[in-house]
Amino acid sequence: MSHCIFCQIIAGQSPAHKVYEDEHLLAFMDLFPAGPGHALLIPKVHAENIFELDEAVMARIGAFSQKLATAVKTAFAADGLVVFQLNGEAAGQTVFHYHMHFLPRMAGNNPMAMHGKVMAEAAVLADHAARIRAALGEG
């Protein structure tokens, strides 16, 4: 089994609340959300960070990131959406399999944190994933 938690999720060896999957990409809810609707988008091929990612894979992620951003914003009726991506420990990266974060923001929200401290309840993540899947389907 891979030591990479995201590769384990891709392989179905670890659970996740999925919002999108195709041959190359997987999107799922962050287990420690920095806010409601915090979703992650990863390539299925393991690459540690932006510097290692294949250009063609990067293009697929870029194209789909716009669809996912729209769906997450719609699903949570958010005023704004933060998209961020960390590379290397010094940048705050904690899982070393390339991923983009999608974090809905509401006007007047508290100062933004990139990482949540509390594991979300499974029922909440299941509901949030369903909302994003529905919004993706509508888009």
Residues whose CB falls within 8 Å of the CB of residue 23, separated by 6 or more in sequence, listed in order: 44
Nearest Cα to Cα of residue 21 among 105, 138, 103, 132: 132
46 binds, among Zn ion, ligand 5GP, none (CB under 5 to 8 A by kind): Zn ion
Within 57-76, the residues that bind Zn ion by CB under 5 A are none
The answer to the question of residue 30 lying near ligand 5GP (CB under 6 A) is: yes
The answer to the question of residue 88 lying near ligand 5GP (CB under 6 A) is: no
The answer to the question of residue 110 lying near ligand 5GP (CB under 6 A) is: no
Please give the distance of CA 59 from its chain centroid, rounded to a whole number: 17
Please give the distance of CA 64 from its chain centroid, rounded to a whole number: 12
Task: Specify the residue, 15 or 138, whose C-beta has the smaller distance to ligand 5GP.
Answer: 15
Q: Whole-number minimum distance, CB 120 to Zn ion, in Å?
A: 22
DSSP 8-class letter at 14 = S
Q: Which residues are catalytically annotated?
A: 99
How far apart, in whole angstroms, are the C-alpha atoms of residue 106 and residue 29? 18
Q: Whole-number minimum distance, CB 9 to ligand 5GP, in Å?
A: 6
Enumerate binding residues for Zn ion (CB under 5 A): 4, 6-7, 46, 97
